[in-house]
Structure 1
Amino acid sequence: MFTPAPGLKVSLAGAEQKLAQLDAEQTQRATVTNLEMPTFRQITGRDSDGLA
């Protein structure tokens, strides 16, 4: 029967914690923050053809 060494349990716990931290950071970065600033197209008055 295989018994993991105590150091491996600590490493696994640390790895799981780091993965949870990275997941939380990715979720935070994926969230869009609307700054209520006009886009370049809105400022210049250009339409999708590039002509006003």
Structure 2
Amino acid sequence: MAITRIYLDDDALRRVMAISGVHTEQDAVNLALRFFSSHATAADYEHPFHPRAATAS
């Protein structure tokens, strides 16, 4: 397992924790990564995924 310092979207992190019931930020991030990697493929995205586009309202 790698240690990586990243900035997280606090609202998205809280939603993942509330929906999933996990108690740590690390578990929430790992769960989200596993979920995304098991449900998405490169073919699902015409262009590389940009996180700001996903949060734009």
> Which category of TM-score, normalised to the shorter sequence, fits these structures?
0.3 to 0.5
Between 1 and 2, higher relative CO (CA 8 Å, sep ≥ 6) is seen in 2
Question: Which structure has the greater CA radius of gyration?
Answer: 1
**TM-score with structure 1 length normalisation?**
0.34
